[in-house]
Amino acid sequence: MRMLYYRFLGAKFTLIATRHAETVPSRLTKFLLKKADKVVTLIKSMSENLGIKNTIVGHGVRVDEFVSDANKKLENIRQENIILNAGRVRKAKGQLVLLEAVKVLKEHKNWALVIVGKVDKPPFLEELRAIAKKQEIESQVYFIDETRDIISYYQAAKIVVAPSYSEGFSLVTAEAMSCECSVIATKNVGVHSSLITHKKNGYLFEAGNIKELEVLLLKSINDKIPYLGKQAREEIVKNWSAKQEAKNLIKIYNK
């Protein structure tokens, strides 16, 4: 809005706006975006929901920083093997589904679930703790506040689960793949189905399907399905690096 005001006063410049939400925009948002010379969106569904002409440029990962480290260990986590969930802790992110699915940990004492992220509503966190207690796995479930050292958590994890119902993009999934984690994510949510080819460089399941996620976790823990970390990183390095994002944005600005 500030830039449109400057333009109203007579300033001459090209205005490029990026839309980060997947939802259908409000009338005001749509009106303002139409005033931009170019609009950028992050994923296909976001592009389609916008209702005005736009160019898709997905986020990129700093692949030279988000790398694997097989020797990485986390302090205060007793178990050797880690299933990680990172990002906001809220219902839309699917942690309720994840807590129900990880009851399989009861029979695998050397595995832990670590949930890292900012909690939107404390009562929701208590709901998650209650499920862990009901499943008798509270000693294997850890809740960690938002941290700048998220790379260490990716590196220490064997499996990363992104069980969300909605995403603007899902940079967590791309970052985890770059760190050679075997990722299990919801199908057709955010960029998940563009990043992951099922059984080739990760695993996909229907959002909200506890049983499907439980089966994938159990098979992963018992080595019944391949660990796809190497393949995951190859996909990110090839198609989803920060350099690739920069190149795509430069093309837009150069036009």
- For the four alpha carbons of 123, 128, 133 and 138, in that order, the dihedral sign comes to negative
The pLDDT tens digits of the residues spanning 87-107 come to 999 999 999 999 999 999 999
In angstroms, the CA 255 to CA 252 distance is 5
3-class SS of residue 140: helix
Short-list 208, 214, 206, 211, CA closest to 107: 214
Domain boundaries, the chain: 2-56, 81-239
The third-level CATH classification (topology) of the domain covering 81-239 is Rossmann fold (3.40.50)
pLDDT confidence of residue 86 = 97
Report the chain's mean pLDDT, rounded to a whole number.
95
pLDDT average, residue stretch 32-49: 92
Contact 99, 134 (CB under 8 A): no
CA distances from 131 to 79, 101, 135, 184, 217 (A): 20, 10, 6, 21, 18
pLDDT of residue 45: 87
pLDDT at 22: 81
Per-residue model confidence as pLDDT tens digits over 166-184 = 898 999 999 999 999 999 9
